[in-house]
Amino acid sequence: MSKFIQLHVLTSYPASNLNRDDLGSPKRVVMGNTTRLRVSSQCLKRAWRTSDIFQNLGSEHMGVRTKEMGRHIFTALTKGCTLQDVLAGKAASGHAMLEEKEAVAIARTIAGVFGKNKSAYDPKKDVDTDDSRRKLLESLEIEQLAHFSQEEIAAISAQVEACRQNRKAPEEKQVNLLRTNIKAVDIAMFGRMLAAEKDYNMDAAVQVAHAMTVHAVTVADDFFTAVDDLNRDDSGAGHMGVSEFGAGVFYLYLCIDRDLLQQNLQDDAELTNRALTALLQAVAQVSPTGKQNSFGSHAYASYILAERGNEQPRNLSVAYLTGVNSKDDVLQDAITRLTDTRAHMNKAYGQKTECAELNILTGSGSLKDLAAFMVG
Tell me the DSSP string of 7-49.
Answer: EEEEEEEEEE--SB-TTSSBPEEEETTEEEEEE-HHHHHHHHH
Q: Greater confidence, 124 or 8?
A: 8
pLDDT of residue 234: 79
Instruction: Please give the angle made by the CA atoms of 30, 32 and 37, to the nearest 5 degrees.
Output: 35
Q: Are 3 and 259 in contact (CB under 8 A)?
A: yes
What sign for the dihedral angle of Cα 189, 194, 200, 201? positive
Residues 166-175 have pLDDT tens digits of 999 998 778 8
Decide if pLDDT at 179 tops 90: yes
For residue 96, give the DSSP letter.
P
Q: Are 273 and 256 in contact (CB under 8 A)?
A: no
Q: Greater confidence, 124 or 364?
A: 364
Closest CA to 371 of 285, 249, 267, 313: 285
In 118-217, which ranges are E strands?
A: 146-148, 206-208, 211-213
Decide if pLDDT at 128 tops 70: no
Q: Are 99 and 123 in contact (CB under 8 A)?
A: no
Residue 243 backbone phi and psi in degrees, to 5: -130, 135
In the chain, what percentage of residues exceed pLDDT 70? 98
Roughly what angle, to the nearest 10 degrees, separates helices 269-285 and 41-49?
A: 120
**Residue partners of 143: CB distance under 8 A and separation at least 6:** 67, 115, 116, 117, 118
Mean pLDDT of the chain, nearest integer: 94
pLDDT of residue 174: 80
Contacts for 217-224: CB closer than 8 Å, 24+ residues apart: 217/28, 217/35, 217/36, 217/37, 217/246, 217/247, 217/248, 218/35, 218/246, 219/25, 219/26, 219/28, 219/37, 219/244, 219/245, 219/246, 220/15, 220/244, 220/245, 220/246
pLDDT band of residue 246 (cuts 50, 70, 90) is very high
Decide if pLDDT at 144 tops 80: yes
Q: Are 111 and 117 in contact (CB under 8 A)?
A: yes
Cα–Cα distance for residue pair 334/363, rounded to 1 Å? 16
Cα–Cα distance for residue pair 209/373, rounded to 1 Å? 22
CA torsion 367-372-374-376 (nearest 10°) is -170
Q: Are 200 and 264 in contact (CB under 8 A)?
A: no
HSE-CB for 207 with a 13 A CA cutoff: 12
Q: Are 91 and 179 in contact (CB under 8 A)?
A: no
pLDDT band of residue 185 (cuts 50, 70, 90) is very high
HSE-CB for 213 with a 13 A CA cutoff: 29
Q: Greater confidence, 93 or 58?
A: 58
Q: Greater confidence, 133 or 306?
A: 306
Cα–Cα distance for residue pair 284/296, rounded to 1 Å? 17
Closest CA to 191 of 41, 200, 10: 200
pLDDT of residue 376: 84
pLDDT band of residue 131 (cuts 50, 70, 90) is confident
Q: How far is CA 7 from CA 29, 214, 283, 295, in A?
A: 21, 16, 9, 27
Residues 289-304 have pLDDT tens digits of 999 999 999 999 999 9
Q: Is the pTM of this model over 0.85?
A: yes
